[in-house]
Amino acid sequence: SGLLFDAEAKRYGVFEAWPAEVTARVLGYFGDTLELNDLIGGHSSIGVVTAALAAGRDRKISGEELLTGIVAGTEVTARLYESAVGRFKRYSEGGSVMVSYFNAVGAAAALSVMSSFDDATTTNAMAIAASMNSWCPAEVIFGQGGTIKPMLFGGNPAACAVLAAGYAAEGLTGPRGIIESPIGMMAGLATSFDPSKILDTERWYITAPQRKMHAACGYTHSSIDAAGSLHLSVEEQGRVESIDVAVPAFFKEAVGKEGRPKSANDARFHLGYVVSLALQGLYPILPEHTEDFDRIFGQGLTASLSDKVRIVPNDGIAAGGSKPYNIARVTVHFNDGEQRSQTCTSPIGSSENPMSGDDVVNKFIRLVSPAASEETAVELAERILKIGTAADVRPISEAVLELVRQEMVKR
């Protein structure tokens, strides 16, 4: 993130003068590196909230207007995601990750609501954002994507949304059928989708949020929780012969890594690595566990346990579950023939097993404190919790952005 900050500064000058689309891009990038994004609609907040915060820096927007936009953008993102979840093309078939596309559309919806666009302008803003958002290659997300990877879930979608809203406001139009067209977005990402979930007037997906307890890919959370709940003693850890992790088959292409993690990003998607940490009682998985992966991999039994993890593709394990990525079964085989198993169908943070309000606030404070003091983090959390009553969100937006600037300069 420090490299990105320097690159943007060379092009756009001092941080305070950056255009909103640049600010949104950097916010999304930084949020992804620390796994601040949630799992509502496949990481909606990393695009929606960052775009809204960037827009809220440039003009007077009340807290109520900001929250209304964020709710709308989150709901749009979630409806697109839920309409096709379980029908996404295999990563080895489509080579693309759907999250980025949906986040761009949702972020554009948020900005449209915040700008009081009429229906036609809102439609064009979302369509333009969808068309401008670049390909989100699975190789970059799950393979070796270099340091550009954090741009793809939040940074680029948020920046595209800011630009799209500006273009739509000036009368530019977009491809209105880009979602449902036979040669459109869903045709590229999924084998089919259910339009009724997009058009549903009864259900609100935002009322059943899923948040991230762990700073790792959401595909790993059920496995982490199942492994952590086994509570293996140090003696038992030393007797492990093998570890079977049963998950839906498509997981293997995403998190089926082998050997030592190759980068911090690789560590976040390395099922063997994060399961080995959980088995040793390192819970929850924190940003430092993946950022400092090289040192941690060599400590204790991490390398040994990680190498013993075998993914067992099992689509049947997800039958009847609300979301396929929320289900996993971890079975530990010991060298004396004993085995112990634990199944998780609702990881902490899922709508069926939600994090409490205090859990969410404490996570915020834990993640923000390194960039500030704990006192500052607590004060900022209190201000954000009351943001709905703010007449102007610019002071809060500026406080968040200043923390980001300080942290990025450090890096």
In contact, 206 and 71? CB cutoff 8 Å: yes
Whole-angstrom distance, CA of residue 411 vs CA of residue 408: 5
Whole-angstrom distance, CA of residue 380 vs CA of residue 153: 25
Q: Is the pLDDT of residue 358 over 90?
A: yes
Q: Is the pLDDT of residue 159 over 90?
A: yes
Kindly tell me the burial class for residue 298, based on how many C-beta atoms sit within 10 Å of its own C-beta (0-12, 13-18, 19 or more).
exposed
How would residue 222 be classed by pLDDT, with cut points 50, 70 and 90? very high
Angle between helices 2-12 and 20-33 in degrees, nearest 10: 170
Would you tell me how many other CB atoms lie within 10 Å of the CB of residue 93? 11
Would you tell me how many other CB atoms lie within 10 Å of the CB of residue 159? 31
Mean pLDDT on 197-206: 94
In contact, 153 and 46? CB cutoff 8 Å: yes
In contact, 273 and 242? CB cutoff 8 Å: no
Task: Identify the pLDDT of residue 338.
Answer: 97
pLDDT tens digits, 40-91: 988 999 999 999 999 988 889 999 999 999 999 999 999 999 999 889 999 9
Q: How far from chain centre, in Å, is Cα 305?
A: 27
pTM: 0.93
pLDDT tens digits, 6-18: 999 999 998 889 9
How would residue 23 be classed by pLDDT, with cut points 50, 70 and 90? very high
Nearest partner of 332 among 246, 205, 208, judged by Cα: 246
How would residue 320 be classed by pLDDT, with cut points 50, 70 and 90? low
User: Which phi and psi (to 5°) does residue 121 adopt?
Assistant: -65, -40
Computed over every residue of the chain, the mean pLDDT equals: 93
pLDDT tens digits, 233-287: 999 999 999 999 999 888 898 999 999 999 988 999 999 999 999 999 999 999 8
Would you tell me how many other CB atoms lie within 10 Å of the CB of residue 182? 7
How would residue 411 be classed by pLDDT, with cut points 50, 70 and 90? low
How would residue 322 be classed by pLDDT, with cut points 50, 70 and 90? low
Whole-angstrom distance, CA of residue 242 vs CA of residue 347: 23
Task: Identify the pLDDT of residue 104.
Answer: 98
User: In this predicted structure, which of 174-178, 309-313, 400-404 has the lowest mean pLDDT?
Assistant: 400-404
Task: Identify the pLDDT of residue 3.
Answer: 87
Task: Identify the pLDDT of residue 37.
Answer: 77
